[in-house]
Amino acid sequence: MAPRTPLLAMIDTKGWIFLGVLLAVCLIVPLFNLAVPPGSPLHVPTYVVSLLGKYLCYALLALSLDLVWGYGGILSLGHGAFFGLGGYAMGMYLMRQIGPRGVYGHPVLPDFMVFLNYKELPWYWLGFDFFPFAALMVLLVPGLLGFLFGWLAFRSRVTGVYLSIITQAMTYALMLAFFRNDMGLGGNNGLTDFKDILDFNVQAQGVRVTLFVLTAVALALGYLIARFMTVSAYGKILVAIRDAEPRTRFLGYRPHHYKALAFTVSAMMAGVAGALYVPQVGIINPSEFTPTNSIEAVIWVAVGGRGTLVGAALGAVLINYAKTLLTGAMPEAWLFALGALFVLVTLFLPQGIVGTLIARLGDRKARIAARLPPEPDIPPRLLEEGRGS
């Protein structure tokens, strides 16, 4: 209730730790990649830089999901769709950067279009050779879909598992659509074989390091935006909506405005994560839209601790690191481990790692913030207790 809190005051202890770690990583990784010679045991190979960059992209995706799930109670099982759309927007720009250097050497058309007998560039590809336009689309396309979808669903008061199911259907429909060759976006194979980004070779060491640093910056910015939103009155209302949506209505709030805003911002963040992911991984294809991917992102948030922002990022990095290790060492074990993680975390660690740590160590205020929301989403049949009047 302090009047005019200075902006920095909104960052709490765990936030400072998070930003500190990000800054350290931003300095150490490039240093040990560029300045330490490849022979040295301290050298960080470039592929590891890109791998870490990928983790940070996932962390940003998890952060965006935590904003809507942890604070708004909106369990989206379709956030991979926004991630994928952002990725495709970036992928289209990177395809246009190839220019006439494709296998078929067509002056304008990307290889897959030549292969599919396209005569000219479809209209929705126009403008993607221009980076600022592509960057705008990275924000706009996921943002618009998020807004439309969220506005419709929240206005109709679709909540809880119903919302989860239709978000899943949304990403499933997009997956089917992007698998079609007629979509003009590479069908099955997606977009790949990138050459340049902003006329720099996308494979070059320096570019890779730059992309990594940019991802870390984007993650930090994403955190600050999400944090700013959640500590403001807006965030308090969002949490109030999560806990008791009807009550907020009778106080005069329109929950769908609040939820749609959070959903849109979150979709844009996920889009940025996807856009940064594509040049570092070198490919974007429709498998990014599979519902399983989106659900996997949910478990990152659950493991890290929902409603903590920092936890979501931590969970994404930890689980993906484990995935890299396990799928390399014993691929069969990965799905067992992931499956078990889903079960064990929901049963025994419902607050996630960071949430549990806060409950153990944290001060009183933080404990309140991390308190699990009561779920109002008990299915209708279970609610059938008459309200005597």
Partner 1 sequence: MIRLLVYLLLALAFAGPVRAQSPADAAYTRLASDSYAEIEASIVGLAASGDPRTAPVIQALAEGRLFYRPADKALFVKQGDAVTDARTGVPAPATEGLKPVRANNKVRRALDSALGTLNLLAPDPGKRREAAEAVFKARDATVLPALEAALSRETDAGVKRTLQEARAAVVLAKPGSTEADRLAAVATIQGRADGDAMGILRALSADPSAAVQAAAAKGVAAIETRLALIAGASNVWYGISLGSVLLLAAIGLAITFGVMGIINMAHGEMVMLGAYTTFLVQEAIRAHAPGLFEFSLAIAIPAAFLVGGGVGVGIERLVIRHLYGRPLETLLATFGISLILQQTVRSIFGPTNREVGAPQFMTGAFDLFGLSITWGRFWIVVFALAVFFGLMFVLRRTSFGLKTRAVTQNRRMAAAMGIRTPWVDALTFGLGSGIAGIAGVALSQIDNVSPNLGQGYIIDSFLVVVFGGVGSLWGTLVAALSIGVANKFLEPYAGAVLAKILLLVFIILFIQKRPRGLFALKGRSVEA
Partner 2 sequence: MSAALALAEASSTSPGPAGAKRLTNALLYLDDVRVTFDGYRALRGLSLTLGRGEMRAIIGPNGAGKTTMMDVITGKTRPDTGTAVFDGVHDLTTLDEATIADLGIGRKFQKPTVFESHTVADNILLALKGPRRAFPSLFGWRNRVEAERIDDILRIVGLVPHRARPAADLSHGQKQWLEIGMLLAQDPKLLLVDEPVAGMTDAETEETAKLLREIAKDHAVVVIEHDMHFVRALECRVTCLHEGAALAEGSIDAVSADPRVVEVYLGR
237 makes contact, choosing from partner 2, partner 1, none, with CB < 5 to 8 Å by partner type, with partner 2
The entry of partner 1, partner 2, none that residue 157 binds, CB within 5 to 8 Å by partner kind: partner 1
Asked if 158 interacts with partner 1 (CB under 8 A), we say yes
**Among partner 1, partner 2, none, what does residue 239 contact (CB within 5–8 Å per kind)?**
partner 2
State in angstroms the smallest separation of the CB of 45 from partner 1: 31
* Tokens matching residue 316: 């994404």
Indicate which single residue of 27, 177, 221, 251 sits in contact with partner 1 (rule: CB under 8 A). 177
Phi, psi of 326 (to 5 degrees): -70, -45
User: From partner 1, partner 2, none, which one binds at residue 253 (CB under 5 to 8 Å depending on kind)?
Assistant: partner 2
What does residue 6 show for φ and ψ, rounded to 5 degrees? -65, 150
Minimum distance, C-beta of residue 275 to partner 2, in the bound complex (Å): 24
191 φ, ψ (degrees, to nearest 5): -110, 130
Gyration radius (Cα) of the chain, Å: 22
Q: Tell me the window of 60-68, 136-144, 169-177, 248-256 that interacts with partner 1 (CB under 8 A).
A: 169-177
371 scored as a contact of partner 1 (CB under 8 A)? no
Residues lying near partner 2 in the complex (CB under 8 A) are found at 1, 3-5, 228-229, 232-234, 236-237, 239-240, 243-244, 246-254, 257-258, 260-261, 364-365, 368-369, 371, 373-374, 387-389
CB of 347 to partner 2, least distance (A): 22
Contact between 172 and partner 1 per CB under 8 A: yes
Binding of partner 1 by 330 (CB under 8 A): no
Length of the chain: 389
